[in-house]
Amino acid sequence: MGITEKILCSSTHEYLLDNENGTFTIGLTDYAVEQLGDIVFLELPEVGSEYKKGESFAAIESVKAASEIYMPISGKILEINEPLVETPEELNQDVYENGWLVKVEATADAATEMNDLMEYEDYKESVH
Amino acid sequence: MTKETYLHEKHVALNAKMVDFAGWHMPVQYTTSIIEEHNTVRNAVGLFDVSHMGEVFVSGKDALKFLNSVVPQDISKLAYEKAVYCQLPNKDGGLIDDLIIYKLGITEYLIICNASRLDEDLNWLVRNKRGLDVKIDNQSHNFSLLAIQGPKAAELMQKMGLKTNQDSFTIKTGEVAGIKVLASRTGYTGEDGWEILVENEFSEYLWDKILEAGAEFGIKPIGLGARDTLRLEAALHLYGNDLDEKTTPVEAGLSWSIPKDKEEDYNGKAVIMEQLANGGTKKLIALKMLDKSIARHEYEVYFNGEKVGHVTSGAPSPTLGANIALAYVKNLNEICTGATVQVMIREKLHDAVVVKKPFVSKRNKVKGE
């Protein structure tokens, strides 16, 4: 199964990947990164911080503009992709393997919160 | 309604990402990388569609007298086929627009102005006629404007039949690929290059021919995204960001363009002359961020813990590999080259150092052979 068949996407262009061990990986969709163009800056949250679904937890900047990145579900930050902060331009190559942003521990609300998210194919359709 | 240039189909065919800019549907980038487009202009040559810009012909017995009454520059010193960078101040010295005036004949001039300000400019010019014998003829809808910019621009134009023995800031009639054009050796990138004024019906043909002939020089079409980072590196003002009706040319750092000895009166002269002597209430400074953060339009600027102004333009500089910005701050002597200020970015203060303008040395002062 390809990775795009496993992820869920938000209308604000984040993806959520269930790691099937109670943790989730969050990143930006390939479509979002393509729209942003050259990524030149990335700011990630501190490990241990907690965010509610819909809250801004990171910032990303392209040559043109600054954008916020929002939590697709509520959770506590377990791990951040530290090397990516040094080389944010790598996001333009790949958003999954090396281009993920954070890993989170979900809350009990995760299942309900995920109802708002779309499968990748539906997401692609919604943005085109 | 959003307007389209005569080259709109070309942009769509090239898969450009289109945006609304100043009432026009314009290409912001042709590829996924603005940085690549930027570097193409710095290292080779780029082609821009800037047909949205305004072209206004001013002619008649009193054309000189009229122009001298609306700009701080001394148009009587403008020689035939020469161009001069000008501003259009209101009565308080605030800027209605910035523009280039060209002398085309003894009583004929051309103004090229910002698309976003064309209507305001025309209104202002007509209101300032005051019974003078002058014709103000807006021809913006009849002309396309193609900019060819970069270190390879001269070789390309020569190959296409244009006589390139032309100084910077001059305009000549000529032929490019057999098409009659007005060729101005000016631009908005800090590089050598031309802005080619051509009748709409020939613009698509010329666009194709330039891309074809430019292939051997590595030419690429360049969108507004790279146009913005190029002009920012050259510290060239963008109207609406760095210039507006509440900002005088002195405050905008344009004193170099204003003669102190011009005798004729012009709108805003008293304020501008007073500020030339004593400075304005604010000043435009150039900033280089000291960390990886990027200062953007409207971010606040602090000095010694006090809010002193705001950023007007900010972006990464592909040429410098640093993040740069223009900002207006209180006219304090302490905020000088080398001083450190702070920019508020996402509720945190980030250090920036005041640097000299331009950020990247201009290479657009060329003597035609």
pLDDT at B362 over 90: no
Expressed in percent and rounded to 5, the helix, strand and coil fractions of chain B are 25, 35, 40
Residue B317 at interface with chain A, using a CB cutoff of 8 Å: no
Asked if CATH classification 3.40.50.720 holds for the domain at B3-50+141-233, the reply, yes or no, is no
Domains of chain A by start residue, with CATH: 8-100 (2.40.50.100)
B281-355, CATH topology level? Elongation Factor Tu (Ef-tu); domain 3 (2.40.30)
Number of Cβ within 10 Å of residue B165's Cβ equals 10
Give the residue on B whose Cα is nearest the Cα of A35: B32
Report the alpha-carbon distance of residue B103 to residue B57 in Å, rounded: 10
Q: Mean pLDDT for chain B?
A: 97
Which band of pLDDT confidence, cut at 50, 70 and 90, is reported for residue A1? low
Confidence (pLDDT) at A62: 97
- Decide if B292 and A41 are in contact by the 8 Å CB cutoff: yes
Structure tokens at B159: 């190959």
- Decide if A34 and B32 are in contact by the 8 Å CB cutoff: yes
Which band of pLDDT confidence, cut at 50, 70 and 90, is reported for residue B271? very high
Confidence (pLDDT) at A22: 87
Average the pLDDT over A82-108 and give the result: 96
State pLDDT tens for residues B173-230.
Answer: 999 999 999 999 999 999 999 999 999 999 999 999 999 999 999 999 999 999 999 9
State pLDDT tens for residues A72-81.
Answer: 999 999 999 9
State pLDDT tens for residues B64-97.
Answer: 999 999 999 999 999 999 999 999 999 999 999 9
Residue B32 at interface with chain A, using a CB cutoff of 8 Å: yes
pLDDT at B364 over 90: no
pLDDT at B129 over 70: yes
Complete DSSP assignment for B77-117:
GPPTTBEEEEEEE-TTS-EEEEEEEEEEETTEEEEEE-GGG
- Using a 10 angstrom Cβ sphere, with 0-12 exposed, 13-18 middle and 19 or more buried, the burial of residue A56 is middle
Confidence (pLDDT) at B32: 86
Give the residue on B whose Cα is nearest the Cα of A36: B32
Query: For residues B43-81, b (16+ Cβ closer than 10 Å) or e, as one string?
Result: ebbbbbbbbbbbbbbbbbebbbbbbbbbbbbbbeebeeb
Report the alpha-carbon distance of residue B72 to residue B278 in Å, rounded: 17
The ipTM, to two decimals, is 0.90
Report the alpha-carbon distance of residue A36 to residue B272 in Å, rounded: 42
Q: Nearest by CB to A38, which of B35, B294, B296?
A: B35
DSSP B23: T
Contacts for B369 with CB less than 8 Å, ≥ 6 apart: B164, B165
Average the pLDDT over B142-147 and give the result: 98
Which band of pLDDT confidence, cut at 50, 70 and 90, is reported for residue B365? confident
Compute the CA torsion angle B351, B357, B359, B360 (nearest 10 deg). -170
Selected for mutation to probe chain B from A56, A64, A85 (highest B CB count within 10 Å) is A64
Which band of pLDDT confidence, cut at 50, 70 and 90, is reported for residue B367? confident
pLDDT cut 90: percent of chain B above it: 97
Per-domain residue ranges of chain B: 3-50+141-233, 281-355
- Decide if A38 and B229 are in contact by the 8 Å CB cutoff: no
State pLDDT tens for residues A4-52.
Answer: 999 999 999 999 999 999 899 999 999 999 999 999 999 999 999 999 9
Report the alpha-carbon distance of residue B159 to residue A16 in Å, rounded: 54
Residue B313 at interface with chain A, using a CB cutoff of 8 Å: no
Residue B315 at interface with chain A, using a CB cutoff of 8 Å: yes
Structure tokens at B350: 């980030």
* Whether the bond into B358 is cis, omega within 30 of 0: yes
- Decide if B294 and A43 are in contact by the 8 Å CB cutoff: no
pLDDT at B369 over 70: no
Query: What distance in Å separates residue A34's CA from the closest CA in chain B?
Result: 7
More confident residue, B367 or B28: B28
State pLDDT tens for residues B275-313.
Answer: 999 999 999 999 999 999 999 999 999 999 999 999 999
